[in-house]
Amino acid sequence: MHADWQTYRQLFVAGFRRQTAYRLAMFAGLATNVVFGFIRSAILFAAVESAGGELAGYSAGTISAYVWLSQGLLGAIQLTGAAEIGDRIRTGDVAIDFTRPVDVQTWHLAEDLGRAAYSMIPRGVPSVVVGALTFGLVMPATVLPYVLGAVSIVIGVAISFYCRYAINIVGFWLLDTRGVRSLYMVTSTFLAGLYVPVALFPDWLHTLAYLTPFPSILQSPIDVVSGQVTGLDAVGVVGMQVFWLAVTCLVGRVLTTAGRHKLVVQGG
C-alpha cells in the first residue's frame, strides 16, 4: 500500500518542475513582495526609530531582515489557504487518488515541498537581495543559524501545507470551502507574524498566537535564520515546530480517514 521513498522524491521533483512553467507568475509575485516589503520596511523602520532605536529586541537592521525574510518566504509558505486536494475533493477526483498505492497526504506534501523549493529561487532569494540593497539588513555572521534555519524553514513550509490540507479536507463535509479558507487566510497571516512580528504583540495576543501553529510557519523560521534566537533557545523553537508538525499532520490524517468513510463513489 505504501510507496517507497523514490516515489515521493519524484513527486517532489514534479512539484518543482511544474512551477518552472509559470515564470511570469513568479516574477509578478516577486514584484508584489518587493513593493509590500518597501512599505512594511518604512513602517517598521519608523516604529523602531520612534521607540528610540530598539523595539522588542529588534534594531533597524534586524527588523529589516525580518521584513525581507518574511516577504521572501511568502511564496514558499502560501498562507492563502488554497491546496490542490480541495479541488480534487470538489471534483470527485479524490476517489481515484485513494485507490493509488501512495499515501494521499504525503503525496501532496512532497509536491508542495517541491513547489516551495522552486519558489525560493525566483522569489525567496531575490526578495532578500532587494531588501539588502535598498533598506539594508543585518544577518548572522556564523554558519549555525543558517543550517538550523534551513531546517526550520522546511518544517515551517510543511506545517503550512498540513494546515492547508486539513482546511481543504473539510470539503468532504462542506460543499464550498471558500469561506473557511478566507477565514483561515486572515487569521493565519496575522498570527504567523506577517504584518508585525509576533514579539511586538501585546501579552494576551502573544500567548494566543503561540497557542496556534501559525507562528511556527513564519515567525519561528525567521527568528532562527536571522539569529533573533540562538543556541539552545533556537533548538527549542525548532522543537516547538516539530510538535506542531506532528499535531497538524495527525489532524489531517484523522480528517482524511473520517472523510474517506463519508465519500460515496457513484457509478464507475
Residue 184 CA to residue 82 CA, distance in Å, equals 10
Supply the DSSP symbol for 122.
I
What are the angstrom distances between the C-alpha of 64 and each of 41, 68, 200, 227? 6, 6, 14, 13
Given 10, 14, 20, 31, the residue binding other proteins (CB under 8 A): 31
> Which stretch in 88-96, 111-119, 173-181, 238-246 sits in contact with other proteins by CB under 8 A?
173-181
Is residue 193 within 8 Å of residue 73, measured between CB atoms? Answer: no
- Beta-carbon contacts of 89 under 8 Å, excluding residues fewer than 6 positions away, are 168, 169, 171, 172, 259
Task: Determine, following the binding rule CB under 8 A, whether residue 212 of this chain makes contact with other proteins.
Answer: no
Dig out the grid coordinates for 144 from the structure.
549555525
State whether residue 260 is helix, strand or coil: helix
Q: How far apart are CB 46 and other proteins at their closest, in Å?
A: 4
Nearest to other proteins of 10, 182 (CB atom):
182
Q: How far apart are CB 56 and other proteins at their closest, in Å?
A: 6
Residue 201 CA to residue 221 CA, distance in Å, equals 18
Query: Cα torsion at 72, 145, 154, 20 (round to 10°)?
Result: 40
Task: Determine, following the binding rule CB under 8 A, whether residue 36 of this chain makes contact with other proteins.
Answer: yes
Q: How far apart are CB 183 and other proteins at their closest, in Å?
A: 6
Task: Determine, following the binding rule CB under 8 A, whether residue 173 of this chain makes contact with other proteins.
Answer: no
Nearest to other proteins of 51, 254 (CB atom):
51
By rule CB under 8 A, what count of residues binds other proteins? 37
Q: How far apart are CB 24 and other proteins at their closest, in Å?
A: 5
Site for other proteins in 178-207 (CB under 8 A): 178-180, 182-183, 186-187, 189-190, 195-196, 200-202, 205
Site for other proteins in 131-150 (CB under 8 A): none
Residue 210 CA to residue 215 CA, distance in Å, equals 6
Task: Determine, following the binding rule CB under 8 A, whether residue 35 of this chain makes contact with other proteins.
Answer: yes
Q: How far apart are CB 89 and other proteins at their closest, in Å?
A: 18
Task: Determine, following the binding rule CB under 8 A, whether residue 43 of this chain makes contact with other proteins.
Answer: yes
Residue 221 CA to residue 76 CA, distance in Å, equals 12
Task: Determine, following the binding rule CB under 8 A, whether residue 51 of this chain makes contact with other proteins.
Answer: yes
Given 7, 32, 212, 230, the residue binding other proteins (CB under 8 A): 32
Residue 119 CA to residue 20 CA, distance in Å, equals 9
Task: Determine, following the binding rule CB under 8 A, whether residue 210 of this chain makes contact with other proteins.
Answer: no
Handedness of CA 253, 255, 258, 259 (dihedral sign): negative
In the complex, the residues that contact other proteins under the rule CB under 8 A are 22, 24-25, 27-29, 31-32, 35-36, 38-39, 42-43, 45-47, 50-51, 55-56, 176, 178-180, 182-183, 186-187, 189-190, 195-196, 200-202, 205
